[in-house]
Structure 1
Amino acid sequence: MTEPRTKVADLWFEDGNLVIAAQSRLFRVHKGVISLHAAVMKDMLSVPQPAEQENLEGVPLVTLPDDECDMEHFLRAMYFPQTFLMIPSSGAWLRELLTDTSERATPLSFDVLLGVLRLSHKYDAPILRTHALRHLAAVVAGRKYGNLLQPPSVDLPVRTHESLAPLKALISFAREVHALWLLPHLLYWASHYPAQQLAVPQTWKGRQCQLSTIDLVACFAGYQHTIVGDPDIAPFKSDPCEVDDCLCNRLSPTHYKGHNRFLESPFTHSWVLVRESNDGMRCYGMRESAYRKWKGKMWAQIPAAYDLPSWDELKSMLCADLNMSAEDVDYFGFFGHWHRGHGIPVACY
């Protein structure tokens, strides 16, 4: 039995000359608008149609194999760009995703973002794809896109099985749309979860999230490289220093607790950098210097550890995908790029 189809009211234009069907939803739109934004759809519509083509209310009907929600978000971004302009201003959104598994709305629904990006990538809608990728970059990196090429500055707030599902979704999605420059941070964070949690499929926002074999191997290899396999892992791996009256000797239990936290998240281990907590430690300067040196060395090796392109290649991909110069990527994010007069990516709608 055929599932009944429903017209989407605000995407049903009486003067439209094309009806798009996606699963149970119907959209009456304009060929000119669709062709203006999506090159693949333009090519599809330019192919002569057979005389017996299906019609609805006298208008050609095209059935597409896409998810109905994705198609609705994609078309709505074309026709109502103001619904797609809001952008999170910091990485707080990602932390919110990981700590709140409810359906509470975020500044821009994650479903909207994924739907628009997935179909703009598939149907070659470059303006929407660029803007959607800027949204996604801001989710992970905050205001400054160049942060994606630097070690994480903050750790994830929790590491529960539930909080892993959004990471799996983001990793899989970055692969799907070829946004490999998102993966160093995402794979680094994911690699600190237990292996058995990484391997099992999960459901998040009604969709199954599962890491591919490539990403599972990358997580395991990356963890081995940064945590287990490096002989210089660290300033806090050794015993407390040999200076008798140094505070670190008197606080050795705290020292080892700090060491354990360090191993859990070495790039974002803030305790080592908080000078106030190290008053009296004569070895502090030496350990801090060693830590910074180690951090720089290890981050330079991250692409190879996770089987990704080099940092130079990732930066080139980032600049191309966000349609920004290397200078803007280094010094600005969405808001800086906007204020420098480059315009809002969807202003032409």
Structure 2
Amino acid sequence: MSDNLDSPSQTSTDDPCPKLKPIPMWFQDGTLLIKAQDAKFKVYGGLLSSKSSVFRDMFTLNAGVQEAVLELEDSKVDLSYFSKALHDIDFFLPRKLGHVTPIAIVAGILRLSDKYDVPSLRKRAIEHLSVIYPTTLRAWDRASQLESPHISDHLDAIKSARDFNIPWIRPMAVYHFVSQPLETVFPLLHNSNLSEQDQKQCIRAIRALKVLQMFCGAPMRSAGNRKQCHSWSNCGNVQKNKWNAICNDDGADPLKIRLTYTDGFCSSCQGNIDVHYTREKAWNMVPVLFNDESWSQLETLRNAEIGMDIADNTVGVE
């Protein structure tokens, strides 16, 4: 089998829309030849049938065939990573502290594990997405320590949320996408394969994030107390400039700590800004403003699907 299969063949994140390339899957003693688009993969049919009821049925229909050949209409990229995950137990590992598999790979594995009925891979893919797009602010802050996905990956996650009934990842997948610069968001949204419903949700979310950004900045406006302030001439100017920045910024990422704008104020004024409380309230407003269910309702759905609570203790660096 070819070497270097463990590293995803991905282009630079500087690419406007990076694409994965298929990885070679060719075992010389493989028992099944799979053709997909212009690619060929030689794998073990018995292994596929043991993991997938769909492949098992295919092999039952073709029992006795000496050299099995299977032509599939799937993406060769998705099929290569899906096959790799089935054949190599060290490739698509469970999500762990400080690491998840890149979204583009996860989405492809999710698509085919759902199509070919491989429950273990489907569950694992959903767990990875649930770490990247969590349901608590604490987990969101810790997830920021992971490698940042490309903006186009969030579109995959939004589509996967609807296609595979993973509603709890949708709020923060949408947030991740629409909090990027609008000159990047609109062209990608226009050319995406999102449903009309999801596109409308993204547009609503752009407006909602602007409201939330002003909400998060509001405590800064009332921070100055002339009697307690150590230097009102400074803090007054800081307050004015920062509020203008909030109002005039065409993008919005209200959950970023820097957007609470405590820096620059004197220690007395900083003490009057309840950063944590404001961000918690903003976090709780996100799914509601995005026309989704509340976080508690979404967590109930998540725990019923993957049978575990990954809200606070599976990402980050110790």
* Corresponding pairs, count: 286
1:295 matches 2:295: no
Specify the alignment match of 1:38 in structure 2: 52
Shift of 1:226: 4.3
Taking the aligned partners of 1:117 and 1:172, their CA distance within structure 2 comes to 12
Amino acid at match of 2:273: R
Indicate if the aligned counterparts of 1:240 and 1:249 stay in contact, CA closer than 8 A. Answer: no
Indicate if the aligned counterparts of 1:71 and 1:119 stay in contact, CA closer than 8 A. Answer: yes
Amino acid at match of 1:308: D
What does 1:218-237 align with in structure 2 at a 5 Å threshold? 218-228=201-211, 234-236=217-219
Specify the alignment match of 1:65 in structure 2: 73
- Select the residue among 308, 313, 333 that pairs with 2:314: 333
Q: SS of the residue aligned with 2:226?
A: coil
1:135 matches 2:128: yes
Indicate if the aligned counterparts of 1:201 and 1:210 stay in contact, CA closer than 8 A. Answer: no
Amino acid at match of 1:265: D
The answer for unaligned runs of 5 or more in structure 1 is 1-7, 94-107, 142-146, 337-349
Indicate if the aligned counterparts of 1:22 and 1:67 stay in contact, CA closer than 8 A. Answer: yes
Q: SS of the residue aligned with 1:61?
A: strand
Taking the aligned partners of 1:62 and 1:25, their CA distance within structure 2 comes to 12
Specify the alignment match of 1:164 in structure 2: 151
Q: Pick closer, same or farther for the CA change 1:114–1:182 going to 2, 3 Å.
A: same
- Select the residue among 269, 286, 308 that pairs with 2:292: 308
Taking the aligned partners of 2:113 and 2:27, their CA distance within structure 1 comes to 20
Q: Pick closer, same or farther for the CA change 1:228–1:109 going to 2, 3 Å.
A: closer
Shift of 1:156: 7.7
Shift of 1:194: 5.1
Specify the alignment match of 2:167 in structure 1: 180
Give deviations 1:123-145, integer Å, cap 9, x for gaps.
2211112222333344x26xxxx
RMSD: 4.1
| TM-score normalised according to structure 1 size | 0.65
Amino acid at match of 2:108: G
Indicate if the aligned counterparts of 1:198 and 1:211 stay in contact, CA closer than 8 A. Answer: no
1:259 matches 2:243: yes
Give deviations 1:57-92, integer Å, cap 9, x for gaps.
x4232221101121121112111111222857437x
Taking the aligned partners of 2:209 and 2:102, their CA distance within structure 1 comes to 34
Q: Pick closer, same or farther for the CA change 1:86–1:318 going to 2, 3 Å.
A: closer
Q: SS of the residue aligned with 2:238?
A: helix
Specify the alignment match of 2:141 in structure 1: 153
1:26 matches 2:47: no
Taking the aligned partners of 2:193 and 2:238, their CA distance within structure 1 comes to 38
Amino acid at match of 2:91: T
Taking the aligned partners of 1:163 and 1:183, their CA distance within structure 2 comes to 16
Q: SS of the residue aligned with 1:83?
A: coil
Q: SS of the residue aligned with 1:201?
A: helix
Specify the alignment match of 2:12 in structure 1: none
What does 1:191-230 align with in structure 2 at a 5 Å threshold? 191-193=178-180, 195=182, 197-201=184-188, 209=192, 211-228=194-211
1:270 matches 2:285: no
Specify the alignment match of 1:5 in structure 2: none
Indicate if the aligned counterparts of 2:220 and 2:273 stay in contact, CA closer than 8 A. Answer: no
Specify the alignment match of 2:29 in structure 1: 14
Shift of 1:313: 3.1
Q: SS of the residue aligned with 1:148?
A: coil
Taking the aligned partners of 1:187 and 1:9, their CA distance within structure 2 comes to 33
What does 1:279-294 align with in structure 2 at a 5 Å threshold? 279-281=266-268, 283-288=269-274, 291-294=275-278
1:117 matches 2:110: yes
The answer for unaligned runs of 5 or more in structure 2 is 1-22
Q: SS of the residue aligned with 2:109?
A: helix
Shift of 1:234: 4.6
Specify the alignment match of 1:79 in structure 2: 87
Indicate if the aligned counterparts of 2:155 and 2:194 stay in contact, CA closer than 8 A. Answer: yes
Q: Pick closer, same or farther for the CA change 1:313–1:32 going to 2, 3 Å.
A: farther
Give deviations 1:303-348, integer Å, cap 9, x for gaps.
2221223323321332244442x3xx24421799xxxxxxxxxxxx
